[in-house]
């Protein structure tokens, strides 16, 4: 069936609530209001005792999710914007992520935290971040970032069924994207080659994946064949799939919507280089600048990676020039 991205999220939540009475969904304004981005519209009417509005407290939300998971439920917690995740850090980083280890594998925390991320919507610097790097170094948390409605549906259902905490990121500029949703099952931790190529491997996730695909089509007309990999899962990343591709193309470019310093793109580059140093001709990253997301439309557009900036970076690098990340 054809669904837009937000409809795929809504259907995944509806199907999991229907399939498993242990699944509950709660967050700020997700009930009667249907959520800030109209993702949960109608779910409270269909599941009145299990879709719950909450007070405005991200720490309370994450703490309640942690406790509910320990008591046998499978909570899906919505944090309205990923920028507010620091308010929930203690429950996520010091409790939920470590409980399986601290209990010697005797208890798990089947908890999903959904949140909206990403720039390009004119939301300003405090509502436009993509905080993947904040969680990349935390053992025990999985980080999922789909780029298509099909992936959003399948990976959210996989996240709800996972026995340990999953941070599920939804890019706000993907909500209106439409696509076929077949319901095919997917596993967290598996990347996909979404376009095959021979000269260069482009790796990204979330909203940057469509940009990479557009850039690959533009590069094709210039005689450069780019393979595009959609990570889908940022932690744990599917390094073997990238390594196999790079051993074929001998070049790697990672595109991240996030600051260069400490970003996940650098981790991907390091991990792949360890495996491909002998065959790799070049590897680099394209990220946002190390400053807050601009509010001005013109500045925000220039700040973000785009198909045009990807093509410019590839062309410059493969011509032997300096590449600006």
Edge to edge, the sheet with strand 23-27 lists 51-53, 23-27, 74-81, 112-117, 166-171, 142-144, 233-235
Token pair for 20: 């498993």
Contact 134, 92 (CB under 8 A): no
As to burial, measured by CB atoms within 10 angstroms (0-12 exposed, 13-18 middle, 19+ buried), residue 16 is buried
**To 5 degrees, how large is the angle CA 37–CA 43–CA 49?**
130
**To 5 degrees, how large is the angle CA 236–CA 219–CA 242?**
20
The residues assigned a catalytic role are 127
Place of tokens 């696509």: 179
Place of tokens 């595109």: 255
Token pair for 43: 């779910």
Torsion of CA 308, 313, 315, 321, to 10 degrees: 150
Token pair for 31: 């009930």
């Amino acid at each position: 069936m054809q669904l837009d991205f937000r409809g795929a999220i809504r259907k995944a939540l509806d199907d999991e609530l229907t399939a498993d009475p242990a699944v509950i969904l709660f967050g700020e304004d997700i009930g009667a209001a249907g959520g800030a981005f109209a993702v949960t519209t109608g779910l409270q009417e269909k599941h009145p005792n299990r879709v719950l509005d909450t007070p405005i407290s991200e720490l309370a939300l994450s703490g309640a999710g942690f406790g509910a998971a320990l008591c046998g439920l499978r909570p899906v917690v919505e944090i309205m914007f990923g920028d507010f995740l620091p308010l929930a850090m203690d429950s996520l980083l010091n409790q939920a992520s470590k409980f399986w280890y601290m209990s010697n594998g005797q208890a798990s925390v089947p908890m999903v935290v959904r949140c909206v991320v990403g720039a390009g919507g004119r939301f300003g610097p405090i509502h436009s971040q993509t905080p993947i790097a904040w969680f990349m170094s935390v053992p025990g948390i999985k980080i999922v970032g789909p780029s298509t409605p099909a992936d959003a549906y399948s990976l959210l259902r996989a996240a709800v069924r996972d026995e340990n905490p999953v941070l599920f990121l939804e890019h706000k500029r993907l909500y209106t994207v439409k696509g076929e949703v077949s319901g095919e099952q997917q596993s967290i931790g598996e990347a996909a080659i979404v376009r095959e190529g021979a000269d260069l491997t482009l790796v990204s996730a979330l909203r940057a994946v469509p940009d990479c695909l557009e850039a690959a089509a533009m590069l094709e007309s210039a005689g450069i064949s780019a393979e595009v990999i959609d990570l889908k899962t940022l932690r744990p990343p599917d390094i073997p799939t990238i390594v196999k591709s790079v051993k074929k193309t001998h070049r790697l470019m990672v595109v991240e919507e996030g600051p260069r310093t400490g970003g996940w793109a650098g981790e991907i580059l390091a991990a792949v280089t360890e495996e491909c140093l002998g065959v790799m001709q070049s590897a680099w990253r394209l990220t946002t600048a190390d400053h807050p997301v601009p509010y001005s439309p013109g500045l925000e557009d220039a700040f973000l990676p785009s198909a045009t900036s990807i093509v410019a970076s590839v062309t410059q690098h493969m011509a032997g020039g300096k590449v600006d990340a």
